[in-house]
Amino acid sequence: MPDMEETIPIKDEYDIVTARSAGKTIASSTGFGLVDQTRISTAISELARNILRYAGTGTVYVRQVTADGRNGIEVVAGDQGPGIANLDLAMTDGHTTGGGLGAGLPGTKRLMDDFEIDTEVGRGTIVTTRKWVQ
Ligand SMILES: Nc1ncnc2c1ncn2[C@@H]1O[C@H](COP(=O)(O)OP(=O)(O)OP(=O)(O)O)[C@@H](O)[C@H]1O
Ligand SMILES: [Mg+2]
């Protein structure tokens, strides 16, 4: 089953819509119900929006995954932007350096099952998230 995948370069607002809808399509084919499809596409748009706002450009990869007999979806959002100096702060509800709500990263963590950030100041940021079909 794990064969659907999409790579969406993020460089403008339209790419956020493209990434969001690719995620919804793959989530639906993976077996997620409507509510989870919406959670996943919301997470994708938050990550893509962060790429656009903080790094300028980057890439979102969405793919089907299987582990321990479970099917799921993996979203990897990567950029070569400024990186995140204080990850604990970035993961705090309400913390923003960009005039936002500071809800994107903590919200994405709540919407998905697995959530990891690999970031280095001056090098960039890779956020990897997964969600598993119940
Ligand atoms: N890809 C990224 N590159 C560099 N910094 C980032 C990136 N993504 C998030 N950050 C940093 O982490 C902070 C928190 O991100 P988060 O998405 O939670 O909130 P926000 O983008 O500020 O506001 P919101 O998402 O609610 O509009 C950002 O303000 C920014 O400082
Ligand atoms: Mg954000």
Mutation choice for ligand 1 from 44, 45, 96, 128, CB with most ligand atoms inside 8 A: 96
* CB proximity list for 2: less than 8 A, separation 6 or greater: 63, 64, 65, 66, 71
DSSP state of 128: E
> What six digits make up the tokens of 56?
């300028």
Q: What is the pLDDT of residues 39-55, one digit of tens each?
A: 999 999 999 999 999 99
Tell me how far the alpha carbon of residue 3 lies from the centroid of ligand 1, in angstroms.
Answer: 31
CA distance 127 to 102: 16
Q: What is the pLDDT of residues 43-86, one digit of tens each?
A: 999 999 999 999 999 999 999 999 999 999 999 999 999 999 99
21 lies in which domain range? 5-132
51 ligand 1 Cβ < 6 A: yes
Q: Is 0.85 topped by the overall pTM? A: yes
Tell me how far the alpha carbon of residue 1 lies from the centroid of ligand 1, in angstroms.
Answer: 34
Letter string b/e over residues 52-89, b meaning 16 or more CB atoms within 10 A of that residue's CB: bebbeebbbbbbbbeeeeebbbbbbbbbebbbbeeeee
Q: What is the pLDDT of residues 87-127, one digit of tens each?
A: 999 999 999 999 999 999 999 999 999 999 999 999 999 99
> What six digits make up the tokens of 99?
């005039």
Give the pLDDT band (50/70/90) at residue 1. low
Assign 126 to helix, strand or coil. strand
> What six digits make up the tokens of 77?
């959002």
Please give the pLDDT value at position 65.
Answer: 96
60 ligand 1 Cβ < 6 A: no
The CATH number assigned to the domain holding 38 equals 3.30.565.10
Residues counted in the chain: 134
Please give the pLDDT value at position 45.
Answer: 97
When divided into structural domains, the chain yields a total of 1
CA distance 78 to 44: 12
Tell me how far the alpha carbon of residue 72 lies from the centroid of ligand 1, in angstroms.
Answer: 25
Please give the pLDDT value at position 2.
Answer: 63
Q: What percent of the chain has pLDDT over 90?
A: 97
